[in-house]
Amino acid sequence: MRLIQGICGTAVLVAASMLTTSVYADGRDWNDGPVINVASIRTVDGHFDDYMHWLATTFKKQQEAAKKAGLITSYRVIVIEPRGPNEPDILLVTEYKNWAALDQLGGKLDQISTQVEGSAEAAAKSEADRAKIRTVLGSRTQQEALLK
């Protein structure tokens, strides 16, 4: 749940800053595209397969439920070669229709986590267990520019 809250918190801050900057409005040569969040994850040595198992099971169920509920449009898991000890080895990419899709997203995603994992307590325990096998290095939320 902390990952979700962190992603949502970052997205809200970015969204607020974008609303105050007219540079990011639709332009003559482009239109606003989907909003994309990329979370950088570094697995603990020896636990890459453990984390990938969680992604292939619980995470996938959560993301599919979020897609079905219309909260996200797509998601991807990208495995990358880290360049150093503080670099990610996995990127979690989540796509949203637009910035408005991030409004009150945290609570909605918490409900999905609770549905998938059985209870808020089970979801919190799962989050704590994942902290033993991976580190969230941060996330970045951005918007695609669709060229005309």
Residue 2: band (very low, low, confident or very high) from pLDDT cuts 50, 70, 90: low
pLDDT of res. 27: 79
Q: Which residues contact 101 (CB under 8 A, 6 or more apart)?
A: 35, 71, 72
Do 105 and 11 contact (CB within 8 A), yes or no?
yes
The model carries a pTM of 0.80
Which range of residues forms the domain containing residue 95?
2-147
Range with the poorest average pLDDT among 11-20, 24-33, 97-106 = 11-20
Answer with the residue of higher pLDDT: 1 or 92. Answer: 92
pLDDT of 12 higher than 70: no
Structure tokens at 87: 């670099």
pLDDT of res. 112: 92
| Segment 39-84, tens digit of pLDDT | 999 999 999 999 999 999 999 999 999 999 999 999 999 999 999 9
For the chain, how many structural domains are there in total?
1
pLDDT of res. 90: 98
Beta bridge partners of 77: 92
- What CATH number is attached to the domain comprising 59? 3.30.70.100
Euclidean distance between CA atoms 69 and 63, whole angstroms: 10
Structure tokens at 84: 């150093």
Q: Give every strand in the sheet of 74-79, ordered side by side.
A: 74-79, 90-96, 30-43, 134-147
Q: What's the mean pLDDT in 13-40?
A: 73
pLDDT of res. 62: 96
pLDDT of 125 higher than 60: yes
Nearest to 35 by CA among 81, 71, 79, 59: 71
pLDDT of res. 134: 97
Euclidean distance between CA atoms 94 and 106, whole angstroms: 14
